[in-house]
Structure 1
Amino acid sequence: MGTSTRTCLKSVPKDLRVLSRSFTSIMLFSSGAFGAISLFGLMSVVSVIGSSCPTANAENAPAFSSLRPLLSSEAALVLKGDVKFDNLTSRWREWHSPSIAAVVQVATKKDVQETVRFAKHFNVSFVARAGGHGATEALANAKNAIQVDFRKLNQVTLNANGETATIGGGATVKQIIDGLAAVGKRAVTGICECVGITAPIMGGGHGWLQGQYGLAADQVVSARLVLTNGDVVTVSNESNKDLFWAIRGAGHNFGLVTEWEYRVHNTKENQWSYEIFIYTQDKLEALYELANSMIKDQPAEAIHWGYIVKVDEIDADHPILWFGIIYDGPTETAREYAKPFHDLEPVMVQAGEGTLHDLAVLTFQDLNGAGCAYGLTSLRYPIGLKSFNVAAMRKVYDHIDETFRKTPEVAGSFFLLEGYSTQAVKAVDAGSTAYPHRNDNLLVTSYVQYQPNSTIDPIAEEYGQTLRNILLQASDDPAHLHAYVNYANGDEPLEAIYGWEKWRLEKLRQLKKQWDPKNKMKYYVPFV
C-alpha cells in the first residue's frame, strides 16, 4: 500500500416444564451476571471516504487483498456477500449494533496484529467479537468496521503447575467449563454458555464461584494484549502493572486479549444443588424481606438468583416471582439453608442436583436456551445495591405489571436479581483493580426485550430507566448510581460505571493517553 493511498484517506466522526417452555418462549436474554458482554476490543469510529481513493470496505474487496497474504492459513477473511457473512456478524442485540464491512477470523496472535495494523494503515475502525453479547450504545458508532473474530482462539489448556490454565481470548463459558472439567478443574465464569470470557473479565466478571474465589478479574495472572498499534505486550503484576490494573474493570478500552493465564481450582465431589421457588405477587414483601435477612449470613457457596417475569400458565394476570437457591455444596446443607423459603408457601418448587450445564438449562442459559438466542431489541439497566428496599421492589413490580398490560410488546422482558456471595470479592483490596463496585451485595438489572419495533423503542427506554431510578432513589446512596460496565446501557454517568472516587477516572485517562493516545478503542462505554 503506497503513501498516496494513505494520504487520500479522510475520516468522519426450561418439573417446571410448562414454566420452562413458557419462559423460554417469551424470554430471549443475554448472559446475565456472567458477564454477558463479549466485545472487548472496540476501536475508533472512522468512515473512509473519497471517491478516487482505494478504501478498505466491502465495496472495495481489492483493498483487502494485501491483508490476505499476511494471515495464517487457518485464518479467514469474509466480506459482505459471502454466504458466511450474516451468520458471523449476527449478534444477541442487532439494535444499535456495529456496522461491519469485513470479518477477519483470526487464528493466531499474529493474525490479530496484522489485522490491527491493516486497520491502522487504512484508518478503518475495528471491533472484536467472541460471544457477540456486547450491547451498549457506543457500539453503534462503529461504521464500516472490521470485525476481528476471536472464535478460533478458543484453547483451554491446563498449565504444568496445575494451578492455572491458558485460555484463548475467544473461548466461551461452555468451552472453559467443559475443558477444565475434563481435567478435574473449574474456574470462575458466568453461567450463560455461549458468552465469551474475555469481555466479562475485562469488566470485572461476576460468577457463581465468586464468593469462594473472587471475581473473574481476580483470577487473572497475566494476559497477552495486542495494542492499537499492533504491538503485543504482557500485562501482570510484574509487567506493565498499571495496564494490568486497568484491563481488570475497564479493559474494553485498552486492547485485544489473545490469551489469559487464569487461576483454576479443583472440582468438588458433590454436584451443585438447587431449589427453585415460584411465588405469586402477594408474597413479594415477605420474599424480599427474607432475602435481605439471608444476605447477611449468606454462605460463600450459595447463590440467590431471581426473576420477575410474566408466565401466563402460572398467573395469567400478573408477573410471577421466580427465586432460586443455587448451592455448591452437600445437598443436605443446601436444603437446610433454603428451608425458610418453603415457609412462604410457594405455588411451585423444583429441587435437584446437577452439573453447571444442568443449571444453565434450568436457568435458560444453555446453548439451546433463551439466553443464547439472538435478534431481539434488548436494553439493560443495571444497578448495584447493598440490599433490597422492599417498598421500592413493590413499586418496581407494580410498574412492570402496569407496563406489560399497557404495552404487551415488552411483556417478554424480565427483571433479573443476582445475589452472589461476596466474601472473596470483598477480601480483595478495592483499589487493586479498576473494578469499582466490590462492596455491592446485589446486581439488579431490568432487561427490556421485544421484537424490533421502532415505535416501542422510546417506551422501552423510559420503562427501563424508570425501574432503575425507583431502586436508586430508595437506595442507601441515591446520589451515586453503581452500574456494572458489562451490562451498562451506555448513557450512565461515567462515575457510575468506573467509580465515584475521583482518582479512578483520572488514572484511567492517564493510562489511556499512554497506551491508546489516539483513542482508537472507544466503542465500549468510552471514558474519553
Structure 2
Amino acid sequence: MAKLNTLLAVAAGATVWAAHHVAGSSSPGGNDLQNLKQQLSSCASVYYPGSTGFENATTRWSVLDEPKVNVVVSPCTENDVAEAVKYANKQGLPFLVYNGVHGALVSLGKMTHGVGIAMNQLSSVQVAEDGKTATMGGGTMSKVVTDKLWAAGKQTVTGTCECVSLLGPALGGGHGWLQGHHGLVADQFVSMNVVLANGTLTTIDSNSDLFWAMKGAGHNFGIVTSLTSKIYDIEHTDWAIETIIFSGDKVEAVYQAANDYLVKNGTQPADVSNWSYWMNNPDADPHNPVIVFYIIQEGVQAVDPVYTEPFHNLGPISVTPQSGTYKDLANWTGIALESPPCQKVGMANPRFPIYLESYNITAQKKAWDLYAPAVRGSSPFNNSIFMFEGYPVEGVHDVAASSSAFAFRSENLLAAPLINYIPAGDLAEEAAQLGNQLRDTLWAATGRKDFRAYINYAYGNETFEQIYGAEKWRQDRLHFLKKKYDPENKFGFYAPIV
C-alpha cells in the first residue's frame, strides 16, 4: 500500500508528462520518475489521470470490471517497453498492457493500481525483401497490417475486427478470414521480440521453448514488441457476400441448411465463410430480433448459388448481395472501425464463448427461445448480439495440435453471446446469468464433459481446462513454462495460468 500511496502522490502532484518532455517534480517518488524518463527514448510519453492522453489510453470498449492504473507509459521503441517493466518491478507495482479493443475478462478487474503500458506508438509494417515475411510493431492494428500489406500486393491472417491489434488476438490463437488457407494468426509467427516479466528484451523463434506458449497462451508470458510473420501473395482481389435476414421462426431450418451446405462436418471450402448474428434490427422486424446470416466467398464477384439458394428457399426477410475486396469484409459484417462494436461509449460487453463441431438444431432453437425474449423491446440488453462464426478450417486442422498452446484445432464453429448493456444496478449479474445460460444450452447438446472456450472472447469464469485444454501434457507444459518465465505471475490478469 505504501508503494501505491507514493505513486498516487506523484500522480496528484506532477504536471502531465507527455509527448517529448516531463516537468520536474519534488513530489515523493519524483526522482524515480525522472530516472525512468532518462531511460526512455525522447519520443516516449507518460500520462497521469486527468490528462487526455491518460483517458485515451485507458478507456476500454467494455467497462465491466475495468483494470485501473495510476500512470500510463506510451513507449515508442521496443526498449521503452523493457524500461517500463523494469520501473514497475523496481517500484513493486503491477503492470498491464493496453493494445487495441481486445478482451473483456472480469479477471482484468483484479488490476486495481499500477502501471499501464499503451502500445499504440509501436505501429509499423515492414515487408522483407524476399516478400515472404513482414515485421510488425507490437502495437500495430489489424487494419493497418491489412492495408499496408495489400498496398504491397500481400496479405496474411489477422483478426477480423478492424479495431483490434494484430497481437491481441494472435497471442490467443487468432481466427481470421484467411485461416482456411494458412491457419491461425499464431501459425504465421516466425520470430518475435518479447519483454519478459523481469524486463529482459529478447528475441525468440521456434528454437525457444517459450515460442510454443506464445502461440495460444502468450498473454501470460510476455509483451511482444515486434513480430515477424509469414505473408502471402494476394491470390484473389475479388470477394463477395450475401447478407440474408430471417425471422426467428426459421432458426431450425437456417442452421440445418448451414450444417448441410456450409459446415459439412468440417469440410467447408477454404474460400467460403459463414457468419451469423442474432440481433435486433428494427428495419427488418420492429418487434423481434432476427437472424442476420452472412455467406462470404473469395475470388468471385457474386457468391456461388450452390451456397445461397438453399437459404433463399427458406423464405428470408431480405437478401442483399455485395461485391468488393478483402478490405470490405469488416464493413460488410459490422466490425469496421466506425461500426458500433468498435466504439468506446461506456457499455459493458461480456462474451461467453463455446467451440462447436456443428450446429445442434434442437439446441439452436432452445437458445433462440431463451435469447429472443431477453433482448427484445425495451430490454436493457437490446443491443446484444449472439455471434456464430463459421470460418473455413482446413488450414487450422492441417497444423499439428501439439505445435502450439492453442488447444482447440479440431473445432469447426465458434459461438458467443455478447451481452451489451449500460451498467446499472444488478445488470452485471443478470447479464452473466443470461450469457452462461445460453452457453450452457449449446454445451448440453454437445454431450461433452466440458465446454471449450476461445480465450480472446472469454468471460473470466472459465476453468483452466476450458481455455487451455484438458490434456495433461498440455497443462503440465504450460505450468512448467509459467514457472520458468514468470514465476511471480506478473502476467496474471488475462486468463491467468495458475
C-alpha distance in structure 2 between counterparts of 1:113 and 1:421, whole Å: 38
Identify the structure with bigger relative contact order (alpha carbons < 8 Å, sequence gap 6+): 1
The answer (yes or no) to whether the contact 1:156–1:167 under 8 Å persists in 2 is: yes
Alignment partner, residue 251 of structure 1:
218
Which of 43, 47, 60 matches 1:74?
43
- Note if 1:291 corresponds to 2:261: no
Alignment partner, residue 502 of structure 1:
472
The answer (yes or no) to whether the contact 1:387–1:441 under 8 Å persists in 2 is: yes
Q: Deviations over 1:174-225 (max 9, x none)?
A: 1001010110001101221111111211000000110111000100011111
Q: How far has the Cα of 1:247 moved from its partner? A: 0.6
The answer (yes or no) to whether the contact 1:248–1:434 under 8 Å persists in 2 is: yes
Alignment partner, residue 23 of structure 2:
none
Alignment partner, residue 394 of structure 1:
365
Distance change in 2, residues 1:404/1:275 (3 Å): same
Alignment partner, residue 206 of structure 1:
175
- Note if 1:266 corresponds to 2:233: yes
Alignment partner, residue 435 of structure 1:
406
The answer (yes or no) to whether the contact 1:192–1:371 under 8 Å persists in 2 is: no
Q: How far has the Cα of 1:431 moved from its partner? A: 0.8
- Note if 1:121 corresponds to 2:121: no
Alignment partner, residue 25 of structure 2:
none
- Note if 1:341 corresponds to 2:311: yes
Any idea what SS the aligned residue of 2:403 has?
coil
What runs of 5+ residues in structure 2 fail to find an aligned partner?
15-29
Q: How far has the Cα of 1:434 moved from its partner? A: 0.3
Matches within 5 A, 1:275-286: 275-286=242-253
Q: Deviations over 1:51-77 (max 9, x none)?
A: xx6778623642422211211111111
C-alpha distance in structure 1 between counterparts of 2:101 and 2:186, whole Å: 20
Alignment partner, residue 403 of structure 1:
374
Normalising to structure 1: TM-score of the pair? 0.88
Amino acid at match of 1:510: F
Amino acid at match of 1:105: S
Which of 89, 93, 96 matches 2:65?
96
What runs of 5+ residues in structure 1 fail to find an aligned partner?
1-8, 11-47
Q: How far has the Cα of 1:49 moved from its partner? A: 4.6
The answer (yes or no) to whether the contact 1:191–1:356 under 8 Å persists in 2 is: no
- Note if 1:526 corresponds to 2:496: yes
**Identical pairs, percent:** 38
- Note if 1:470 corresponds to 2:423: no
C-alpha distance in structure 2 between counterparts of 1:288 and 1:407, whole Å: 28
C-alpha distance in structure 1 between counterparts of 2:270 and 2:455, whole Å: 24
Normalising to structure 2: TM-score of the pair? 0.93
C-alpha distance in structure 2 between counterparts of 1:437 and 1:54, whole Å: 42
C-alpha distance in structure 2 between counterparts of 1:211 and 1:385, whole Å: 17
- Note if 1:309 corresponds to 2:288: no
Any idea what SS the aligned residue of 1:387 has?
coil
Q: How far has the Cα of 1:333 moved from its partner? A: 6.0
C-alpha distance in structure 1 between counterparts of 2:270 and 2:304, whole Å: 12
Alignment partner, residue 36 of structure 1:
none
C-alpha distance in structure 2 between counterparts of 1:181 and 1:56, whole Å: 48
C-alpha distance in structure 1 between counterparts of 2:319 and 2:377, whole Å: 30
Q: How far has the Cα of 1:334 moved from its partner? A: 3.1
The answer (yes or no) to whether the contact 1:92–1:376 under 8 Å persists in 2 is: yes
Q: How far has the Cα of 1:312 moved from its partner? A: 2.4
C-alpha distance in structure 2 between counterparts of 1:140 and 1:49, whole Å: 17
Task: Please provide the CA RMSD for this pair.
Answer: 1.6
The answer (yes or no) to whether the contact 2:64–2:350 under 8 Å persists in 1 is: no
- Note if 1:457 corresponds to 2:410: no
Alignment partner, residue 44 of structure 1:
none
C-alpha distance in structure 2 between counterparts of 1:290 and 1:508, whole Å: 40
Q: How far has the Cα of 1:132 moved from its partner? A: 3.4
Which of 471, 474, 491 matches 2:461?
491
The answer (yes or no) to whether the contact 2:351–2:458 under 8 Å persists in 1 is: yes
Q: How far has the Cα of 1:359 moved from its partner? A: 2.0
The answer (yes or no) to whether the contact 2:274–2:296 under 8 Å persists in 1 is: yes
Amino acid at match of 1:176: V
C-alpha distance in structure 2 between counterparts of 1:361 and 1:161, whole Å: 32
Distance change in 2, residues 1:511/1:252 (3 Å): same
Alignment partner, residue 376 of structure 1:
347
C-alpha distance in structure 2 between counterparts of 1:56 and 1:119, whole Å: 16
Alignment partner, residue 446 of structure 1:
417
Any idea what SS the aligned residue of 2:83 has?
helix
